[in-house]
A = this chain, B = another copy of it.
Amino acid sequence: MIAKTPKPPYYAVIFSTIRTNIDDGYEDTAMRMEELAHQQDGYLGIESARNEIGITVSYWENVEAILNWKNNVEHTFAREKGKAVWYKEYQLRICKVERDYGFEKH
């Protein structure tokens, strides 16, 4: 559930969203986008949670992998529908992960 990412540096895309209350295939598309992201070169993992706000963080080897994913045709259609139908507001942030620390209980 927590993404198993390699040693930094790598990239993170933080996608913070406020939904409308219109479903219209939202869950199916979200699942399809996750499946499709997995198939991209340079994809490292994804984490996602939602209550009042939704936060999805996807992890990537480099900026090129992020741009390729941005330009994926099916993803582009989903993004347009996101603006038109599913999201009231969002913010997308492209970040270079410089350091990380993990903890796991044994």
- Report which A residues bind B (CB closer than 8 A): 1-3, 5, 8, 12, 14, 16-18, 20, 47-55, 57, 83, 87-105
Query: Are the CB atoms of B104 and A100 closer together than 8 Å?
Result: no
Known: A12-B14, A94-B98. A53 touches B2 (CB 8 A): yes
B residues near A5, Cβ cutoff 8 Å: 91, 93
Is the Cβ of A2 less than 8 Å from the Cβ of B18?
yes
Main secondary structure of the interface of A (DSSP, over half): strand
Q: Is the CB of B55 within 8 A of A55?
A: yes
> Chain B's nearest CB lies how many Å from the CB of A76?
14
Q: Which residue in B49, B93, B94, B104 is a CB contact (below 8 Å) of A88?
A: B104
Q: Which residues of B contact A14 (CB under 8 A)?
A: 12, 14, 57, 97
